[in-house]
Amino acid sequence: MKNPEKTKKQNHGGLLLRFLRGSKLLFVLSILCSALTTLVDMLNPQIIRGTIDNAIGGKPSGFPAWVNGIVDGMGGFAYIGQHLWIPALAIAGLGLVRVAAQFGTTMLNTRGSEVLVKNMRDTLFSHIEHLPYAWHMKNSTGDIIQRCTTDVDRMRTFVAEQLTAVFRILILITMSLYFMFSMNVGMTLIATAPIPFILAYSVIFRKEMHRGFERCDEQEGKVSGMVQENLTGVRVVRAFANERRERERFEQCNEKYTGMWVHMGHVIGKFFSVQDILCGLQILLVTVFGAVFAVKGQMTAGEYIAFVSYNGMLSFPIRRLGRMLSEMAKAGVSMDRLAYVMNSEPERDRPGAADADMTGDIRFENVRFGYEEGHEIIKGVDFTVPHGTTLGILGSTGSGKSTLMLLLDKLYDIPEGNGRITVGGVDIRDIRTEHLRRNIAMVLQEPYLFSRSIADNIAMAGDHLNMDEVEKAAQAACLTEAIDGFREGFDTFVGERGVTLSGGQKQRTAIARALTQNAPIMIFDDSLSAVDNQTDAKIRASLEERFGTATIIIISHRITTLSRADQVIVLEDGQITERGTPEELKSAGGIYQKIYDIQLGIEEGGATHEG
């Protein structure tokens, strides 16, 4: 899939703050604990310096007055030199403080990261659920899943491990430089001289890493999409003995994905190698020049040891910078991908949209529509379905039959100026979408069943349905006999996408699900194609008995299914070419009559053969 997200500037900061709702305080407390850990790390070298130079060496104190005041209160440096257990105890006490602070950092960080990732998943799922049907048709399911899993986890890792570490690193750098400058300005300038080169080198490489990670993520989405597609269509692959071909396609896609990561490994390896050389050079300069300064008496032994310790603390974030930039590049790509989802506009009702009476006539007024600009599927369709009647729609594949129903259900919007659809005289664009869809029960040709029990699949369309209502819907859909044949009955678990049921059983389960809505408008989009003629007749008779006042629209290629409709329209290339009652059309000399004669001949031939 192409990167449509590149076309829009994303507000990463605002989106991240939205994701951080509920976890910000935890991360703030974690940062404070981390700062306390850093402060303890900073104090230890000063205790060692004072012990070596002042307590043992007897040299004059170079510490600030407030520090000297604390030491004097303990008996002075001379007293401490005679009782070395005091600095040892101080270091041990700071160690306990550090352990407690580190525990707090880890606990709060872990808790915050889990709250963050839960909030991200909940927010993404809710937003995706409300995105237009057209958006889902344009975006690969596998890619969407990857954004909600891999990219979410990557953002969690970045925030929990990298973003919080930034504050600790800033404290480390600030305090290390402060203590280093306070001890020896010349040595500090030597220590900091290589840092601008290291930073510049890291920034340059970050751009290349960002591009590389972006390509890897795109390819991973393709791999995920291919896996999802093949697992969903495994029966088709097996039925056509197409395993080898699909495996080869997957291996080619996966090999390309692997090659991208191998290339990224080379890029990252080259980056870290050069960075390690530069950081090693910086440490070498401090060690050599520090020794020279100490020999010349420009630094004391205690200052030299403390300076080397602080330089190690300074070099740690510099060395860590490479990993951070690498993770930032990954996180930047993931944030782009998540922002694309979150910035996609959800379905919104027109201002002033309200509930309306759905028991009126359905009217299509000169409706024109195309999925792509310049290519119309529906071309000026105009017809009325009086309330309480049954409309049959017949047409070849691609003639626009299903598109009409998608427009009626507002799964696609009719552009302004391309006609309108009304129910009871009210434009459906002025009807609240949720209200409209709750009053339209739609059964598709290829119904989707969830990995739940049959009862759960039937009951999911209604609110708080009891078992009696579920059983009545199943009976009306002629499904009860099939369910009675299952050992678990209504509690029979339906496999993914209804794989454990036959085509006819899936369609009847979907019909039963639609019947539980008791909707005033019912649409059957070729949803009886997988049942036999006898069951078809039973279901239609049951619908007439149970929903005599409902408006029913039936799309079918089977003439017998349309034979009891009040009117039938025939679509050809997005236009109505015939309309009338079934009796009128079967002798009108058009497409309906041709199909009628063909299907009637097949049925009569079958009956003669059986006789």
Q: Lowest-pLDDT range, 63-72, 155-164, 298-307, 470-479?
A: 63-72
pLDDT at 45 over 80: yes
* pLDDT, tens digit, 9 for 90 and up, residues 509-522: 888 888 888 889 99
pLDDT at 134 over 60: yes
Angstrom distance (rounded) from CA 531 to CA 445 = 11
Q: Is 392:554 a contact under the CB 8 Å cutoff?
A: yes
Backbone angles phi, psi at 9, to 5 degrees: -70, 125
Angstrom distance (rounded) from CA 117 to CA 578 = 56
- What is the pLDDT of the chain when averaged over all its residues? 83
How large is the average pLDDT for residues 333-361? 90
Structure tokens at 380: 């000026």
Beta partners for residue 391, in sequence order: 553, 567
Confidence grade of residue 17 (pLDDT, cut at 50, 70, 90) = confident
Q: Is 275:184 a contact under the CB 8 Å cutoff?
A: no
Angstrom distance (rounded) from CA 262 to CA 260 = 5
Pairing, β 378-385 against β 362-369: antiparallel
Residue 70 pLDDT: 79
Query: What interhelical angle do 503-515 and 467-476 show, nearest 10?
Result: 120
Which amino acid is present at 96? L
Residue 3 pLDDT: 46
Beta partners for residue 368, in sequence order: 379
Residue 385 pLDDT: 94
Edge to edge, what strands does the sheet with 551-555 contain?
Answer: 440-443, 521-525, 551-555, 390-395, 567-572, 575-580
Distance from the Cα of residue 75 to its chain's centroid:
64
Domains detected in the chain: 13-342 (1.20.1560.10), 359-438+522-530+554-611 (3.40.50.300), 440-518 (3.40.50.300)
How large is the average pLDDT for residues 222-238? 75
